[in-house]
């Protein structure tokens, strides 16, 4: 069920849609200037009910024939001076769900009078993302819910920029793909299945795609990935997708996006608890966001070359599984001792970032559901960043903020690296009790071959157990918007 988006110029009040969305600001008329249509009854009723147009607040009012639309949905933007992209995403996202709950199939949405291209893009993102649903494992009526919005008209005071709509749709499509991947069960996304999925995405988007299977990984010396995968009946894969700008010679630089793609993390022989294991189908959230971003990159066409890399492996306990205390020689020749088989993410990423450096990346950004320690430090609210290049970190933080996604940097002082010493190998994969999110990141940094690098720990942020204004329960597609904004800025 594809959502149709169209544009109109003028006042949406007279639109013949099932629901009309009108933006309102905190501290101003809560009825959005439509009080006159309701005999002066609407504003006081809304005020009495406590609706104040706060950021992300939405309320639906039946119109009883006062307007062509059956429902009037008021979308709160908060105070006028504080309106940013995130306020728009939340307000229109919350509002369109109210419209859907009211049974609306068609929606007319009035844009704020001053909405520019960035605002329109954010609104399209909010509308599309809020309507996301995952029904793959439902049957009957639940598989195709009766309440569904099929078409949205965007009404602008001036002509609505088409490019902004297309960009917003591309971004939302990338986020939705990442959500689908995370929500899919591990039995349907084994490493070979992930590789096939990525190949389909690449073919449809017009991206180059290369898959290294187990034999090729062995021949190439990708021992860290192979070691993680060897406890599973499903073979590991390394997937590489490449986007080249339309005028290839003009590429400003090459950015590699590397996603941890553990299709299920049981912990291995250092087995997780039942509670800790239950959510571990989401341990490929990094790879999901990379694949989602790559699909959107093909539509956004930034002026940089982008290499997307997924390290698909399943971490299982078995007679062929890796052992704690085993020593592995990674792709770049460094040896490390396995401190705990549940620290598998940094292992697959070690080989993958070396692969990225050798593939010609000028800078490397890795995304990983890497540590429980990140959850303790920042919760699900923010993503943790660890890097070796302040300029890259600063650029990414700015892009994430512009995209409405929260990222917070962690320190990387040398003392933390000392925690990764091993008695018998170059490194140990675990760094002991303290600063777990930092030492995990710094371990990956040992394999980037001196390239500018930024690690994003998305543990706890790749999936949510709470419905948000435009993010339903399940996979979130975290960092897809930040990555895309970063790549667009880098190519300007
Ligand atoms: N995939 C987990 C991290 C994780 C935990 C992500 C909870 C999302 C929610 C990772 O592979 C892991 O198990 N990390 C261990 C590392 C430890 C053994 C050094 C952890 O954080 O406990
Ligand atoms: Mn683990
Ligand atoms: Zn893991």
Query: What are the pLDDT digits (tens) for 57-81?
Result: 999 999 999 999 999 999 999 999 9
Closest CA to 345 of 422, 434, 447: 447
Active-site hit among 133, 272, 334, 406: 272
Q: How far apart are CA 480 and CA 182, in angstroms?
A: 13
Nearest bound ligand to the CA of residue 464? 1
Q: Which residues, 6+ apart, have CB-to-CB distance to 293 below 8 Å?
A: 174, 178, 257, 308, 479, 480, 483, 484, 487
Contact 302, 245 (CB under 8 A): yes
Ligand 1 center from residue 202 Cα (angstroms)? 30
Is CATH 3.30.420.40 the classification given to domain 169-490?
A: no
CA–centroid distance, residue 267 to ligand 2 (Å) = 5
346 is catalytic: yes
pLDDT at residue 320, rounded to an integer: 98
Q: Measured from the CA of 267, which atom of ligand 1 is nearest?
A: 13
Element (H, E) at 23: strand 19-24
Pocket of ligand 1 (CB under 6 A): 265, 283, 340, 342-345, 369-373, 375, 430, 436, 459-460
How remote is the CA of residue 353 from the centroid of ligand 2, in Å?
A: 18
What whole-number distance in Å separates Cα of residue 365 and Cα of residue 359? 14
pLDDT at 85: 98
Task: Tell which atom from ligand 1 comes closest to the C-alpha of 282.
Answer: 8
Backbone dihedral angles phi then psi of residue 58, each to the nearest 5 degrees: -140, 145
Give the model confidence (pLDDT) of 282-317 as tens digits.
999 999 999 999 999 999 999 999 999 999 999 999
Q: Residue 36 carries which DSSP code?
A: G
The whole-number pLDDT of residue 248 equals 61
For the chain, the structural domain boundaries read 4-157, 169-490
Give the pLDDT score at 252.
Answer: 87
Distance set, CA 143 to CA 61, 133, 265 (Å) = 29, 10, 28
- Between CA 143 and CA 155 the distance in angstroms is 31
The single residue of 179, 305, 346, 451 carrying the catalytic annotation is 346
pLDDT for res 41: 97
The neighbour count for residue 48, using CB atoms within 10 Å, is: 8
Q: Which pLDDT belongs to residue 249?
A: 59
> Which stretches of the chain score pLDDT less than 50?
none
Q: How many CA atoms lie within 13 A of 11 on its CB side?
A: 7
**Is 98 a catalytic site residue?**
no
* Domain boundaries 4-157, corresponding CATH code: 3.40.220.10
Per-residue pLDDT, 1:
57
Q: Ligand 1 pocket check: which of 273, 278, 459 to mutate, most ligand atoms within 8 Å of Cβ?
A: 459
Ligand 1 nearest atom to the CA of residue 272, by list position:
13
């Amino acid at each position: 069920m594809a959502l149709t988006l169209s544009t109109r110029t003028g006042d949406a009040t007279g639109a013949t849609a099932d629901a009309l969305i009108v933006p309102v600001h905190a501290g101003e008329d809560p009825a959005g200037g439509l009080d006159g249509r309701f005999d002066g009854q609407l504003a006081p009723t809304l005020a009495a009910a406590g609706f104040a147009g706060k950021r992300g607040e939405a309320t639906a009012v039946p119109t009883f024939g006062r307007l062509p639309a059956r429902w009037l949905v008021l979308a709160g933007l908060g105070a006028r001076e504080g309106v940013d992209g995130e306020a728009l995403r939340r307000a229109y996202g919350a509002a369109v769900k109210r419209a859907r709950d009211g049974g609306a199939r068609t929606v007319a949405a009035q844009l704020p009078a001053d909405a520019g291209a960035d605002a329109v893009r954010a609104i399209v993102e909010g509308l599309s993302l809020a309507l996301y649903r995952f029904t793959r494992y439902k049957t009957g009526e639940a598989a195709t819910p009766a309440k569904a919005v099929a078409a949205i008209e965007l009404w602008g005071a001036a002509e609505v920029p088409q490019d902004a709509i297309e960009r917003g749709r591309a971004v939302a499509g990338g986020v939705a793909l990442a959500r689908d991947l995370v929500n899919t069960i591990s039995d349907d996304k084994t490493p070979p299945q992930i590789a096939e999925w990525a190949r389909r995405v690449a073919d449809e988007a017009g991206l180059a795609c290369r898959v290294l299977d187990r034999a090729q990984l062995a021949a190439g010396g990708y021992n860290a990935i192979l070691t993680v995968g060897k406890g599973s009946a499903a073979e590991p894969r390394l997937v590489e997708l490449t986007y080249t700008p339309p005028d290839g010679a003009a590429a400003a630089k090459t950015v590699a996006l590397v996603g941890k793609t553990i299709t299920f993390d049981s912990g291995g022989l250092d087995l997780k608890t039942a509670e800790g294991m239950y959510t571990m189908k989401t341990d490929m959230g990094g790879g999901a966001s990379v694949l989602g971003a790559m699909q959107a990159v093909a539509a956004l066409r930034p002026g940089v070359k982008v290499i997307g890399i997924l390290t698909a492996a399943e971490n299982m306990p078995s007679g062929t599984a890796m052992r704690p205390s085993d020593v592995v020689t990674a792709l770049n020749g460094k040896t490390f001792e396995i401190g705990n088989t549940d620290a598998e993410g940094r292992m697959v990423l070690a080989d993958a970032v070396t692969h990225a450096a050798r593939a010609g990346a000028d800078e490397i950004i890795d995304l990983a559901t890497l540590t429980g320690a990140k959850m303790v430090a920042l919760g699900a609210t923010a993503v943790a960043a660890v890097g070796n290049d302040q300029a890259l970190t600063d650029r990414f933080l700015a892009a994430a903020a512009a995209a409405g996604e929260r990222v917070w940097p962690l320190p990387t002082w040398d003392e933390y690296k000392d925690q990764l010493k091993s008695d018998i190998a170059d490194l140990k994969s675990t760094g002991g009790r303290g600063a777990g999110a930092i030492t995990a990141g710094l371990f990956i940094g040992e394999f980037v071959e001196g390239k500018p690098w930024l690690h994003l720990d998305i543990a706890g942020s790749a999936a949510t157990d709470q419905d948000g204004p435009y993010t339903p329960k399940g996979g979130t597609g975290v960092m897809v918007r930040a990555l895309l904004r970063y790549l667009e800025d880098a190519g300007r």
